[in-house]
Every structure is written in structure tokens, then in C-alpha cells.
Structure 1
Amino acid sequence: MSHRTSHLPKPRNAVHAFIRELRYHESSRQLLALAYILVLAIFAEPGGLPALYAVGFAIAGLGMLIRLWASGHVKKNQELATDGPYAYVRHPLYVGNILMLAGFCIASQLWWSIPVMLAFLWFYYPTAIDYEDLKLSRLFGERWKKWAENTHALMPRFRGRDFKFGGWSFRQSLMGNGEPLILVYAIYCAWHLVAL
């Protein structure tokens, strides 16, 4: 059992244990999402509709910018990030991931891409959000609780909040998440998709 599932009841059998460990495994979630973007870029419909390319890449680009913004604020397990995008949503990196995946699905113009994406999101994100919320609650106690009561997990809340870009750090974004490298990867996948 990993540290991410040690707080859960004992699994019913080996298959249940394997599926649960996979759902909570952060690296597999991230690597599969990046691999899925590459699959969409490789198998995209050649000569697709330009309007769908534009809409898809606009959504994916917004997701990437949100990820880049969020990764420059978060200091995992050290400080509770409540500025920048964390002032509006508890899990902006996940919001960015969802938008990136949705954007590439639209741009690929593959009929099966959206159902596969939805299955991926259903499989990984509820457990990821539960785990992160529980961990942050343990680490930051009352401060987290107060912030979480006024900040939704994935749907941004703008009312009553002043826009603050916050203390973003390129170094933090690069070292903490490797985000600029992911941006380069996403741009390459987008180029490959359009170059078909």
C-alpha cells in the first residue's frame, strides 16, 4: 500500500488493491495525460476543420497558462498556496490539465477522444482531489478549512475577490513541476497535430 492509500480501508481483493493504487498514483496520472495528448496529436483527423483547431488550441492554451501560473505559486507541503490562481480555485493545476486535455480532444477532431478523456478524468481526479484535500487539511488545519470553505475544488469563484497575479516564480514553476518543459511538449504536440 502506498502512502496515498494507507488511510483507506483494506482492499477487498488483489484486483481492487491494484485499481485503487493506480487511481491514487500521481505519476501515472500525469504521464498518461501527456501520453494521451501525444496520441491525439499523432492520430488526429488530417485536414480537419480550421475552426475546431482554433477552438481546441485556445482551450488547451488557456489550460497551459493556468498550469504555468499555478505551478509558479505552489510550494508542495511547505506553504498553503492561496494567492494567484489559488485565490479562485483549490486545484488550478487540475483545472489546467482538464482544459488542456479537452482542447486537444477538440483539435484532434477524433470522435472517441472525448469519451476516453471523460473516463480518464473520472478514474483519476475524484481520488486525486480527495487525497490532496485530506493532505492539505492535515498539514494546514484551520487555515486550510477556512480557505476551502470559500474556494471550490475545480470551478473558479470570482465574486468578491480582487484579481491578484500573486508572487509567481519562474524558478518555482520549473523546479517544482517542470512546467516550462511541459509547455514546450504541448506546443510540439500542437504543431504535430496541425502539420498532419
Structure 2
Amino acid sequence: MSNRTNDLPKLSGIRNLIREMRYHEFSRQSIGIILVSVFCFETSSNSIIPYASNFAISLILLGLATRMYASGFVLKNKELSTTGPYAFVRHPLYSGNIMILIGLCLINGFFWSFVTAFIFLWFYYPTAIEYEDRKLKSLFPDTWEEWASMTPALMPKMDLNGKIFSRLDLRSWSLKKSLVANYEPVIVVYVLVWVFIVLQR
């Protein structure tokens, strides 16, 4: 049993095996990285959706920007980030991943990529979100409840009071956190290289 499931009700047999797989962080991250290369490598001009659509590229860039933005605010397990992107959603890194994955599916253009992405997100993300919420609640019990009650998991609420730009808190973004603590630029470069390869075909 991994440390991510220690606090959950005990299971046995195949149910326990499946749950352990769903909570396995390295598998989720590794498969996500592999999907980037597979979706880009398997593109074809005969796919059901034109792979070079401006919308797909824009969605990928928005997802990467969201990840870069979020990674500059988070110091994992040491502080509860509630400003910047974390003032809008609790898991902006996952929100960025979803945008990137949808964009890559559009670039790939084949139906199987959408099915694969849906299964991947359904299998791994609910448990990843549950674990992150549970961990943060235990680490920061005095502040997590109030923040979580006002902040959605993945999809931000409509901001009707006109204060969205002040909530972005761009001045607090830290390149050191993004690069040194979270290695985010490496992920950005990896995705951009694959997208560039696709566009050169």
C-alpha cells in the first residue's frame, strides 16, 4: 500500500490493485509524458481534424502558460498557495494539463486520441485531486477549509466584480519556484519541441 492510500478504507484483491494504480503518481506522470509524444508522433494529414488548427495550438499554449504561471506560486508541501492562479482554482497545474491534452488530441486528430485522453483523465485525475486535497487539508488545517470552500478544483468561477486582474498577482510570481523547485520550464520545452516537430511536417 502506498502512502497515498494509507488513510483510505482497506481494500483487497483486484479493487485494491486498481486503486493503487490510480493513486500511483509516477505512472500518471510517465503516461502523461508518453501521451504527448504519441499524440504528436501519430499525427497525419488524413486525420479527422486538421492538426494545425489555430485553436489547438492556442489551447496548448494556454495550458503551458497556466502551468508556468501556477508553478511560480507553489512550494510543494511547505506552504499553502492561495494567490495567483490558486485564487481561481485549487489545482491549476491539472487545469493546464487538461488544456494541453485536449489541444494535443486536436493536433493528433484521430478519434482514438480523444478516447485515450478521456480514459487517462478519468482514471488518474479524480484520485490525484482527492489526494492533493486530503494532504493539503492535513498540512494546513487552519487555512485549507476556508480556501477550498471558495475555490473550485479545476474550473474557475465567473468573475463578475471586475477584480480579476488584481487577483492574478503577477508580481508575486517566482521564476526560482518555477525552475528550481518544480522544473516547469523543462516540461514546457518538451511539449513545445513536439508541437514544433508536428508543425514542420
The secondary structure found in structure 2 opposite 1:142 is: coil
Identity of aligned residues (%): 44
The offset of 1:74, in angstroms, is 0.4
- Is 1:136–2:118 an aligned residue pair? no
Specify whether residues 92 and 166 from structure 1 end up closer, same or farther in structure 2 by C-alpha distance, changes over 3 A only: farther
2:90 corresponds in structure 1 to 90
Contact preservation (8 Å) 1:41, 1:108: yes
1:181 and 2:190 equivalent?
Answer: no
Q: Which runs of 5+ in 1 are unaligned?
A: none
How high is the TM-score relative to the length of structure 2? 0.91
Find out whether 1:194 has 2:193 as its counterpart: no
CA distance in 2, matches of 1:20, 1:195: 41
**Comparing 161-170 and 171-180, the one that deviates more:** 161-170
How many positions carry a matched residue from both structures? Answer: 195
Distance in 1 (CA, whole Å) between partners of 2:128 and 2:25 is 8
Residue 20 of structure 1 is matched in structure 2 by: 19
CA contact (8 A) 1:83 1:165 kept: no
Deviation at 1:31, TM superposition (A): 1.5
Q: Is contact 2:70-2:86 (8 Å) kept?
A: yes
Q: Distance in 2 between matches of 1:36 and 1:123?
A: 14
| CA deviation string 1:74-132 (max 9, x = no partner) | 01111110111001000000000000000000111112111111111000011011111
Q: Which moved more, 1:15-24 or 1:132-141?
A: 15-24
SS at match of 1:31: helix
Cα offset, 1:52, TM superposition = 5.0
Structure 2: stretches of 5+ with no match in the other structure: none
Tell me what 1:123 maps to: 123
1:12 Cα offset (Å): 2.3
Q: Report the CA distance between 1:30 and its aligned residue.
A: 1.3
Compute the TM-score of the two structures, normalised by the length of structure 1: 0.93
1:63 counterpart letter in structure 2: G
Query: 2:38 maps to which residue?
Result: 39
Letter in 1 for 2:57: F
Instruction: Measure the CA separation in 2 of the matches of 1:106 and 1:51.
Output: 6
**Over the residues paired in the alignment, what is the CA RMSD in angstroms?**
1.7
